[in-house]
A and B are shown apart, each in its own frame.
Chain A
Amino acid sequence: MEVLDQLEALASENPNSAAKAWKDDGKKIVGYWCSYVPQELMHAAHVFPYRIRGTGARSTGRADVYMAAVCNCTYPRAALELALDGTYDFIDGMVGANECDHGRRAYEIWVEKKGIPFHHFLFVPHKIDDSVLAEFQKELLKFKVHLENRFHTFITDDALFKSIRLYNENRRLLKTLQEGMKKEQPLMKGSELNTVIVAGVCTPPEQYNQLLKQLLEDLRHRKPMDRPRARLMIYGWIGDNSGFHRLVEDVGGLVVADNCCYGTRDFWEPVETDGDPLKGIARSYLYRPTCARMMGELNSRLAYAKNMIQEFAVDGVLITRHQFCDIHGSEAFSLKRHENEMGVPFSAPLIQEYLGEDAGRLKTRIEAFIEQIESN
């Protein structure tokens, strides 16, 4: 399908055609690290929010000078590598966040070693209640003012609502695609859907909207996929490319649901469109399905996973993480303890480096997990 090829190119090239076209028009691009950084604010300031990833990195030699390979996650190291080798020279600014310590260090080293015209650090709360909501709203206000000053614009409430509605439309379309995975024989592979989701973090929302609509239209004429050996959920790994999904498909499984950074969490709930827009953004981002970085929220994540398992008829959950990921290391430990409440088996944690699929080793483990499910 042509539209899938376009989305695949947008997701896998760095910089992609959308970023190049945007720059050719003389407009600004701001890179951002964490899914808790609201794209709506940057869009309303007329800049293109482009998520920082490691896409295109082949090694981490330059980054390893500052972030030792023996104890740091490959994902931020790969992203930092692309800053140090000049790949990311096309961005005009960058927004960091206290997402995880590894990502945060990479952001700081980037700012110090590379220099960048605009950089902003967004403090994202680690717990969720109404007392921190006001604090997060203040942080978003600081971010808004910083964007306005740097890019010589004024972000009106109307402009912000317009951006929110646009991104909400993307969320609605993505959720429609995701719901298609409920079918016994879906119209898309899990790897394809992942690629579509990833393209959304590095494509202007107007263009992305059109592509999603085209995709939904084209899918109506597509033949359903074969029935998989097992319907699986991926829980944990960053998921900014479909490498892991393809390994699952290679051994006859299908990823039908996820709880990953680049995945359903981002589009499951729309952002509020009434009242004060900053407060609405703060509340919607804070109260949406949570990342494992959020403390005291294990129960809500388990509830989200359980709902996914039931809605998408999941047969088993693949627990995955990157080597040295502290957040998902402890999450995996907690998940295993709650396996009996979830109704389906959880795999032992599958550890993957960001660069290099390590296909043989992982496929054996995934296939054995599928066999375990099949024998039940």
Chain B
Amino acid sequence: MTIVAGCDVGSITGKTVILDGGEIISSSVVPSRPLPARTAADTMGQALEKVGLDLKDVKYVVGTGYGRVKIPFANKTVSEIACHAKGAACLMGTAGTLIDIGGQDCKAIALDEKVRGKVKSFVMNDKCAAGTGRFLEVMAAVFEINVDEMGPLAVQAKKIVPISSQCSVFAESEVISLIAEENDRADILAGVCDSAAGRIISLVGRVGLREDVIISGGVGKNIGVVRAIERRLGIEMKRLPGDPQIVGALGAAIIAQEMSLK
């Protein structure tokens, strides 16, 4: 069979998906290192090790993510926009709108009605971390909790304490004040998730909402943010049958599969 891989080097994590004959046989998520090439080596190494393979067994590698041009073993690079669309369409072919929230950027992608996995148009956040994974990490740190714990806590909220600052830095000091005023932790966290959702909603509005809506990227694992987006959009998003965090790497691997057949 043909073994190919997709490697997505993001700002917070590096992800790899390995396909064998089109089936996912391994994947990995590792924390990003200062140098993208190291992150790529870490994640690829881990994914290969899980299935006892060596890099030379992999016929074709597509690199994506902000560090894509620094992946030494990539045969080709493709932007994360195209890769997320490709990966999401593989998991959920009926999707109309894809929301991707990663470590340092968030994007809304309108998927083509006719061609599966094709990008019709897209918008991304401007030069600002509001509403991204990094924003949520900073907020989790204020509460001395792991970012994974944020979502389950936020959904227990009795009310949403609004966060008025758009800016991550100011939002942090606002949250510290809210804690000092003895607001309930879950209620503040619900406010944090709602604030992140607010950012993405404006991007979705710009590409135009078309159902089904799905979410990818690490923040797709945060149930607090997912519920907040659903509340604001007034619809229920379809859940991906797999880890939303590896969708970009999966899309890259699918493109690698297509390239290897050429």
Contact = CB atoms under 8 A, between A and B. Distances in A.
B79 interface: yes
B78 interface: yes
A360 B66 CA distance: 7
B79 A361 contact: no
A128 interface: no
B135 interface: no
A364 B63 CA distance: 13
B124 A375 contact: no
A348 B119 contact: no
B81 interface: yes
Interface in A319-355: 323, 345, 348, 351, 353
Interface string A15-39: 0000000000000000000000000
B81 A348 contact: no
Interface string B73-94: 0000011111000000000000
A371 B66 contact: no
B126 interface: yes
Given A348-B206, A364-B81, A367-B79, A372 B122 contact: yes
Given A371-B78, A371-B81, A348 B127 contact: no
A361 B129 CA distance: 12
Nearest to B65: A364
A225 interface: no
Contact of B82 (A323, A360, A368): A368
A372 B119 contact: yes
Contacts of A5: none
Contact of B121 (A323, A351, A364, A372): A372
A172 interface: no
B168 to A, nearest CB: 15
B239 interface: no
Interface residues of B, number: 18
B118 interface: yes
A367 B206 CA distance: 20
Which of A345, A353, A367 is the most central at the interface, judged by chain B CB atoms within 10 Å of its CB? A367
A375 B121 contact: no
B123 interface: yes
Given A360-B66, A361-B127, A368-B82, A375 B119 contact: yes
| Main DSSP-derived SS at the B contact region | mixed
What is the size category of the interface that chain A forms with chain B?
A: 10 to 19
Interface in B97-147: 105, 115, 118-124, 126-127
Nearest to A348: B123
A368 B80 CA distance: 8
B127 A358 contact: yes
Contacts of B81: 364, 368, 371-372
A105 interface: no
Interface string A357-369: 0101100110110
Nearest to A356: B127
B162 to A, nearest CB: 22
Contact of B122 (A323, A360, A368, A375): A368
Contacts of B118: 375
A365 B119 contact: no
Which of A345, A361, A364, A365 is the most central at the interface, judged by chain B CB atoms within 10 Å of its CB? A364
Given A351-B126, A361-B127, A371 B82 contact: yes
Nearest to A358: B127
Interface string A171-209: 000000000000000000000000000000000000000
A351 B128 CA distance: 12
Contacts of A365: 124
A372 B118 CA distance: 8
A202 to B, nearest CB: 30
Contacts of A372: 81-82, 119-122
A323 B122 CA distance: 19
B119 A368 contact: yes
B110 to A, nearest CB: 10
A348 B205 CA distance: 13
Contacts of B119: 368, 371-372, 375
Contact of A345 (B79, B115, B121, B127): B121
Which of B66, B115, B126, B127 is the most central at the interface, judged by chain A CB atoms within 10 Å of its CB? B127
B63 to A, nearest CB: 12
Contacts of A323: 126-127
B66 A364 contact: yes
12 contacts: A323-B126, A348-B121, A348-B206, A351-B126, A351-B127, A353-B127, A360-B66, A361-B105, A364-B79, A364-B81, A368-B80, A372-B81
Given A353-B127, A372-B121, 19 more contacts: A323-B127, A345-B121, A348-B121, A348-B206, A351-B126, A351-B127, A361-B105, A364-B66, A364-B79, A365-B124, A368-B119, A371-B78, A371-B81, A371-B82, A371-B119, A372-B81, A372-B82, A372-B119, A375-B119
Interface of B: 66, 78-82, 105, 115, 118-124, 126-127, 206
The 7 closest A-B pairs by CB, nearest first: A368-B81, A368-B79, A348-B123, A367-B79, A371-B82, A372-B119, A375-B118
